[in-house]
């Protein structure tokens, strides 16, 4: 089995839990996902099956869209509502203050990686340091926030939609927003609604997989790269991963098609096209 399945990850499942479940339901161990979601989070988890596992890094690099909820007046060690409460306080902020702070975070900024994450320092995951109560210097990474839209603000709850670059931690973004509001808060809900061309509207539940009611997507269904039908002369070269001259004026990548099925994805390198993955 080769292809892509979009899962609507349920709450209280890790992304690895979902993959393990799919391994069992689909009868294959060759499955990978394209971006971890915390157990608290729900929404789009793109799973690559068979030969498509070679495309995991490509899809992981796509921008992501989320709807998140902040509960104000509480801070936790994990930066989300599942953690241990460290502090509580009364909050008094306005919608106008929120909108002003949101504008501040549009664009690129340096974000600190949360301690409860799987990022490795000296070969050890950060959350392992946290569980052992060991101090470690948290790394920072440049991320980009493309949009921040306030959806709702009532009592001590802020709901917003955001589109961000690869590597952005929404928990950390929320912590930074609260700091700029001179208050405290924690992430209490999170749904990934989109990743690249993968939408939550097209996602299926694990129960759908159990009932054999799902769509196995192919490269030609989801990638926006140019599609070129191969000639008889090209077919064998492409199947063997041969380097081709770029006579097609390709900008980035191209899908080589054989009777409407994707044979391979090639990418532009200088004036040549080189095999990215054989499908």
By annotation, the residues acting in catalysis are 38
Angle separating helix axes 95-104 and 170-180, nearest 10 degrees: 120
Helices assigned H by DSSP within the chain: 15-26, 56-60, 95-104, 126-131, 170-180, 206-210, 219-222, 232-239
State the Cα–Cα distance between residues 141 and 105, nearest whole angstrom: 14
C-alpha of 86 from chain center: 28
State the Cα–Cα distance between residues 232 and 146, nearest whole angstrom: 44
* Nearest residue to 45 via CA among 59, 57, 58: 59
* Nearest residue to 5 via CA among 260, 214, 278, 277: 214
- DSSP-assigned letters across all residues of 46-73: EEEEGGGGGGHHHHHTS-EEEEEEEEET
Q: Are 41 and 79 in contact (CB under 8 A)?
A: no
* Nearest residue to 168 via CA among 99, 235, 245, 113: 113
């Amino acid at each position: 089995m080769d292809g892509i399945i979009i899962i609507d990850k349920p709450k209280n499942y890790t992304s690895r839990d979902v993959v393990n479940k799919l391994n069992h339901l689909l009868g294959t161990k060759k499955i990978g996902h394209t971006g971890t979601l915390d157990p608290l989070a729900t929404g789009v988890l793109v799973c690559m099956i068979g030969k498509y596992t070679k495309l995991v890094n490509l899809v992981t690099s796509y921008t992501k869209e989320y709807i998140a909820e902040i509960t104000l007046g509480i801070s936790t060690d994990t930066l989300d509502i599942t953690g241990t409460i460290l502090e509580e306080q009364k909050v008094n902020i306005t919608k106008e203050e929120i909108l002003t702070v949101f504008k501040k975070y549009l664009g690129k900024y340096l974000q600190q990686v949360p301690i409860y994450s799987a990022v490795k320092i000296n070969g050890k995951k950060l959350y392992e340091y946290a569980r052992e109560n060991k101090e470690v210097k948290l790394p920072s990474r440049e991320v980009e926030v493309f949009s921040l839209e306030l959806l709702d603000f009532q009592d001590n709850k802020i709901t917003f939609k955001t589109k961000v670059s690869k590597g952005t931690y929404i928990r950390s973004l929320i912590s930074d927003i609260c700091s700029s509001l001179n208050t405290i808060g924690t992430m209490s809900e999170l749904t990934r609604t989109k990743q690249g061309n993968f939408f939550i509207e097209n996602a299926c539940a694990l129960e759908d997989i159990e009932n054999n009611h799902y769509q196995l997507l192919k490269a030609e269904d989801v990638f926006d790269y140019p599609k070129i039908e191969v000639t008889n002369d090209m077919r064998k070269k492409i199947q063997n991963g041969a380097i081709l001259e770029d006579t097609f004026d390709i900008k980035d990548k191209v899908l080589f098609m054989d009777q409407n099925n994707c044979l391979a994805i090639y990418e532009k390198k200088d004036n040549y096209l080189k095999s990215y993955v054989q499908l």
